[in-house]
Amino acid sequence: MNLGRGERVMSALLGSALVGAGVRRSAWAKALLSLAGGALLARGLSGHCPVYASLGMTSSAAGERGVTLSRSITVLRPRDEVYRAWRDLERLPRFAWHVRQVKELGGGRSHWVAQGPFGTFFEWTAELTEDVPAERIGWRTLPGAGLRHEGTLTFLDSQGGHGTQVQVRLHYVAPGGRLGVLLARLLGEEPRVQVADDLRRFKQLLETGEVPAVEPKPGDGSTGARAPGPPVQSWT
């Protein structure tokens, strides 16, 4: 067995989805989707991947290395204001649309509910590892988290003193391992994309006071709904 539990579950879910999608297709499409879906189902149920085996790879617990990413953005607001806005954890879903709910538990701990691919949901409890006003926020998830991760937010004066540079560093272990990372990337729901979108909406909220749910689609100049965001969110 060379697959971790998360990757087995994702393989089974994706395999089932492909088999179901083939039902209403033409004969050739049905055959191809059924073949691919069946292979993924077998992969998930058996916990064995022949490709991983041939390459000497594994996504079992011992082989999970995770992914590290970093992003930054400049917000035209004072550093203490930017810090306070982000530190108010229960209001983060106003711009972090994949986060459905955050509840402060006290003692630097908080409970999170977030939406994943195919309408799935992940929950975790996190604790602050650093909290330096107007400078730095650090956190990590506690054991049993549906999405294990840790990260830091750093707040710096921007060049010229006309705002605050927000730097995000995040390390996470994707549910489903390498397959989960690939699937999330294909669906546009990978944390790299989410963090960039969250930062952009955060900037909009602090600089304009609100962020609409309809945003420009990259590349074509048109607009389209960005689920699961609410119609309009005001910071005040």
Sign of CA dihedral 124, 72, 236, 204: negative
**What are the structure tokens assigned to 134, written together?**
């107007």
* 109/140 Cα distance (integer angstroms): 10
Query: In this predicted structure, what is the pLDDT of residue 173?
Result: 79
Q: What pTM, to 2 d.p., does this model score?
A: 0.64
Domain residue spans in the chain? 5-61, 65-230
Mean pLDDT of the chain: 73
Q: Closest by alpha carbon to 49, among 20, 15, 6, 11?
A: 11
Q: What is the pLDDT of residue 221?
A: 37
For 34-67, write each residue's pLDDT tens digit. 655 556 555 555 555 554 444 344 444 444 567 8
Question: What's the CATH number for 65-230?
Answer: 3.30.530.20
- Planar angle of CA 122, 8, 43, nearest 5 degrees: 155
pLDDT at 191: 74
pLDDT of 29: 54
- Other C-beta atoms lying within 10 Å of the C-beta of residue 214: 12
Is residue 31 a contact partner of residue 197, using CB atoms and an 8 Å limit?
A: no
Residue ranges of the chain with pLDDT lower than 70? 1-65, 117-118, 174-190, 212-236
